[in-house]
Structure 1
Amino acid sequence: MLMIPGPTEIDERVIRAMARQMIDHRSDEFRALMKSVVEKSRKIFEANSSDIYILTASGTGGVEAAASNLTQPGDKVLILSAGLFAERMAEAFAAYGANVVKHPLENGQGPNPVAVKKLLETHPDTAIVGFPFNETSTGIISRDVKEIGRICREHGALLVVDAVTAVGGVRVPVDEYNIDVCVAGTQKCLATPPGLALVTVSKRAWEKIEQKKLRPPYFDLVKYRHFMERWETPFTPAVTLFWAFDEALNIIFEYGYERWLARHAAGAAGLYAGLRTYGLEFYAGPGFESPIVAAMHIPPGLTDTAIRETMKKKYGILISGGLAHYKGKMFRIANIGLITRDKVVNTIFALGKTLKSLGMDVDVSAAVENTERELDRNWPS
């Protein structure tokens, strides 16, 4: 059982959707498929005025598409960093000539509107502000994206948001939040195999993109816009993944998108109730705990390898360790995609048994009971 922050498990219907013969990606059949996927994605992003493009690339590729299309050499780009994926965003902008100003967020905090306003007053020539909506590496979610979007608009800066693990798990209404470019991935809360990146582009973002004379050959969004006039892509797309994504979106809307979001919220409530019962310490500060992935400090005397290997070998449950400089310092459990009550309860049970077998004094029954209580209270009907 995958309880890692992507890729997620996928429905049997999604698997079957991919098991078919190839079609011509310049055919009416593919154009209908593209139109279907884009129109459903528009509902996910609540995008009325922003354009949506689907790239055959990872989420990181989507972030690079944003950086490579928006950046003019010397542009000042403010990156708000609560972890590794903000650092990757900074690297992408720097690679295309941006003057990147990194602002580290401390004490497990997400971006703060007051701090963002002060930073923009200190750096009035800022062209772009960027950060992850949900920082997967540290389990920190941004709670004030709408207000930050308003502040960026007020100061004339574009807002770029990496929402790869947020879209499908929480609301990400790009127009309402004044997000100029938003990037998502299919392999997280949207419960689709990895390989597609979703990129939304606002009218303000287009104004900047169109000023750029030298755009990337593969990620040229102007080229994508031209081909999308006939529901095509400039280059050969991963057709099987489009079928998979279309079917995954069908499943989400059949279940009900609001219920899908509520299920993630309920799963998070249950998961955190159990984790807190074990006395685990989170990387995220109070109020910034991600409902998508919980990141915990390793209890004294234990190692992430021992915890993860025991979970895998004894209980068949895969959880994640830390990434990059967080490696060996944390372990992470995801609440993502096809989450169920049983998955959450079984994970809390297995984790408790694992911690107990490794020498921690924990009350497994109490943790399971607290988890089930929160699931009963919050699970959508």
Structure 2
Amino acid sequence: MLLTPGPTALPPSVREVMSEELINPDVDPAFADRYDALLDKLGTVFDTDDEMVVMGGEGILGLEAAIASTVGPGDHVLCLSNGPYGDGFADFVESYGGESTLVDADYDDSLPLADLERTLAAGDFDLATMVHCETPTGALNDLSPALALFDDHDVVTVVDAVSSLGGASVPTDRIDICLGASQKCFSAPPGLAVASVSDAAWDRIEEREPESLYTNLLPWHDAEQPYPYTHLTTLVVALDEALDLLLAEGLDAVYDRHREVAAVCRERGSELGLDPYPDPERSSPTVTAFSVPGRATELQERLRETHDVTLSTGFGDLADDVLRVGHMGYNADVDRVGQAMDALEAEL
């Protein structure tokens, strides 16, 4: 059983549609029709009327493309962070010649709003980045206070919601570039980066005239040719089917299911004496990170070899101290998570 926080296990119908006869996306109108329908479905899941983009590449492509398209030499960008992906935005900014100001907190703390307010008052920023769900730590950030501050200062916002879209409500209507990916809560295969892009963000991109090629969002802003390169047909069809499943269930029901499964996972963990990382009030409904100092790698290997259950460890300094259960998308299932926790109990 694959219970990692992305890639997730695939529903049977998603695996089935991937075996359909290949469509040539460049010449077959059937693909264009399906692609248009896919964009509409993504708009419903994102809960936005902003333009949708589906790029061929896993989620990191979307993060880099957002920065490559909006940041040039000398641009001042505020990167709000309390996790590895929030920190990583600063690296992207610097790689494209921008000047990043990192307003950060420890990985087990909430977003540093007081520091953010002081930094905005003292500086001059027209772009900001942050992360909704920091998958490596299992934290779900409340973005509303930060988005309000950025709005007050007319700052364009870029948000990594890769691990929350489709599993938790995201305030997309207040975000200029909201980033997702196929392999997380959508439960489709890795390989597609998705994004909603506001009019304000398009204005900024057009002013910048990005020099990058494949990481440039601008070619996707052409109404006559919505996908400028040969698209990844099989992955598009798989994502389309995965979204059909999600929408048939209903977004509210999907969010309730994720919260229920997260509660079950954490209750079982508590019974085993495991503490969540960070505290339960800020833990995401899509992933639970348990604190297991010095034991994560050992437990991961034993679970995989003895029980055929695959979980994830942490990143960086947390690599051997955090064990993560991914209960997102198809894996947000009480029985599947129960089996994983049974295996973990046996090993502990």
TM-score range, shorter chain: over 0.9
Match of 1:188 among 184, 209, 216: 184
Q: CA deviation at 1:119?
A: 2.3
Partner of 1:236: 230
Q: Deviations over 1:276-312 (max 9, x none)?
A: 222223331352112211222224xx52222112211
Residue 41 and residue 231 in structure 1: after superposition, are their counterparts in 2 closer, same or farther (change >3 A)? farther
Counterparts of 1:1-381 in structure 2, within 5 Å, are 1-26=1-26, 27-48=28-49, 50-106=50-106, 108-123=108-123, 125-143=124-142, 145-175=143-173, 178-226=174-222, 229-230=223-224, 232-299=226-293, 303-338=295-330, 339-355=332-348
Q: Deviations over 1:209-262 (max 9, x none)?
A: 111133321132221111xx1363111111000000011111111122211111
2:179 and 2:195 in contact (8 A); partners too: yes
2:296 and 2:313 in contact (8 A); partners too: yes
2:82 and 2:107 in contact (8 A); partners too: no
Matched residues in 2 for 1:296 and 1:231: separation? Answer: 46
Counterpart amino acid of 1:31? A
Counterpart amino acid of 1:314? T
SS in 2 for 1:131: strand
Matched residues in 1 for 2:335 and 2:225: separation? Answer: 40
Q: CA deviation at 1:323?
A: 1.8
2:103 and 2:112 in contact (8 A); partners too: no
Matched residues in 2 for 1:304 and 1:281: separation? Answer: 13
SS in 2 for 1:126: coil
Matched residues in 2 for 1:352 and 1:89: separation? Answer: 37
Q: Deviations over 1:59-99 (max 9, x none)?
A: 10000110000002111111122222122222111111111
Query: So what's the TM-score if we normalise by structure 2?
Result: 0.95
Q: 97-106 vs 243-252, which deviates more?
A: 97-106
Q: 21-30 vs 6-15, which deviates more?
A: 21-30
Matched residues in 2 for 1:56 and 1:17: separation? Answer: 18
Counterpart amino acid of 1:156? D
Counterpart amino acid of 1:304? A
5+ unaligned residues in a row in structure 1: which ranges? 356-381
Matched residues in 2 for 1:231 and 1:39: separation? Answer: 16
1:110 and 1:141 in contact (8 A); partners too: no
Matched residues in 1 for 2:180 and 2:210: separation? Answer: 25
SS in 1 for 2:101: strand
Matched residues in 2 for 1:47 and 1:231: separation? Answer: 21
5+ unaligned residues in a row in structure 2: which ranges? none
Corresponding pairs, count: 346
Q: Deviations over 1:101-130 (max 9, x none)?
A: 11221261232444422221132x112221
Matched residues in 1 for 2:287 and 2:250: separation? Answer: 22
Counterpart amino acid of 1:60? I
Matched residues in 1 for 2:33 and 2:224: separation? Answer: 10
Q: 320-329 vs 338-347, which deviates more?
A: 320-329
Q: Deviations over 1:309-356 (max 9, x none)?
A: 22112222111112233222221111111121111211222111111x
SS in 2 for 1:287: helix
Matched residues in 1 for 2:23 and 2:135: separation? Answer: 36
SS in 2 for 1:170: coil
Q: 307-316 vs 258-267, which deviates more?
A: 307-316
Counterpart amino acid of 1:181? I
Structure with bigger gyration radius: 1
RMSD: 1.6
Partner of 1:364: none
SS in 1 for 2:276: coil
Matched residues in 2 for 1:252 and 1:231: separation? Answer: 28
